[in-house]
Amino acid sequence: MKGRQIPYSEAELLWIKGHRDLPRRETHAAFVERFNRPDVSMGNYAALCKRKGWLTGRTGCFEKGIVPHNKGKAMPFNAASAATRFKPGARQGVAVKLYQPIGTERTTRDGYVERKVNDDFPARRRWKAVHLIRWEAAHGPVPDGHALKCLDGDRSNTDPTNWVAIPRALLPRLAGGRWGRMAYDSAPDELKPTLLAIAKLDHATREAKAAHLTLTQQEARHG
């Protein structure tokens, strides 16, 4: 009862302390019935236990090794719950406005044209470069260790003849920079074939030297 201290007998306190590990709501009901104490509310009972430090010891979390009571059980049908559940493949809210159907094409900030090919996850795999789709349709999968290079510098030109598969090691050479030559994409059209040929020659020379060095080292180890 609020406003005054509630007295408890020694027997009542001993009983409460002895039942502190049991669910508090159940022990409160049993206490009221056993000692005829309708004046002690659930709040009074809980407050007394807290003041005395008679805690239940429960944290509200599943302890390691405890099996949940509903493990392996099917969720019972509830009409109200079923009406608000997400349906497989269903879109709601802003997802409806943002959705783009399969076959939609877009242009990235880098100028590549992409096409939506599926609605699966992860989301980044829903889109595929159109030039890659068309090149693979004409030539098959891009060889391992290779990438497609745009020949005319126009990345929106997805014609397969405008793309060539080159070793990835050529990409830094075609970017210019520290290689001391003009960048391929910004070079005049008449110079692009020459820059690509030089990059291929440099790459082939480097590969040949590496292969020769490996062979020489192997021969040295075997006497």
- Over residues 41-97, the pLDDT tens digits come to 998 988 888 888 887 766 666 667 777 777 778 777 777 777 777 666 667 778 778
- What is the band of 1 on the pLDDT scale with cuts at 50, 70, 90? very low
Average predicted confidence (pLDDT) for the chain: 86
- The answer to whether 54 and 27 are in contact (CB under 8 A) is no
Residue 43 lies in a domain: yes
User: Average pLDDT of 2-29?
Assistant: 85
- The total number of structural domains in the chain stands at 1
Residue 40 lies in a domain: yes
Q: Which range (51-55, 107-111, 197-201) has the least confidence?
A: 51-55
Q: For residues 209 and 59, what is the distance between their CA atoms, to the nearest angstrom? A: 69
Q: What are the pLDDT digits (tens) for 205-219? A: 988 998 888 888 877
Is the entire prediction scored with pTM above 0.85? no
Range(s) of the domain holding residue 29: 10-52
Residue 27 lies in a domain: yes
Q: What is the pLDDT of residue 188?
A: 92
Residue 87 lies in a domain: no
Residue 16 lies in a domain: yes
Residues above pLDDT 70, as percent of the chain: 91
Read off the tokens for 106: 């877009």
Read off the tokens for 19: 């039942």
Residue 129 lies in a domain: no
- The answer to whether 181 and 161 are in contact (CB under 8 A) is no
Q: What is the pLDDT of residue 89?
A: 63
Residue 47 lies in a domain: yes
Task: Compare 16 and 113 and report the one with higher pLDDT.
Answer: 113
Count of CB atoms within 10 A of residue 169's CB? 15
Q: For residues 212 and 206, what is the distance between their CA atoms, to the nearest angstrom? A: 10
Q: What is the DSSP string of 85-149?
A: SPPTT---THHHHH---TT-EEE-TTS-EEEE--S-SSGGGGEEEHHHHHHHHHH-SPPTTEEEE
Q: What is the pLDDT of residue 203?
A: 87
Residue 32 lies in a domain: yes
Instruction: Give yes or no for residue 179 having a pLDDT over 60.
Output: no
Instruction: Tell me how far the alpha carbon of residue 136 is from its chain's centroid.
Output: 29
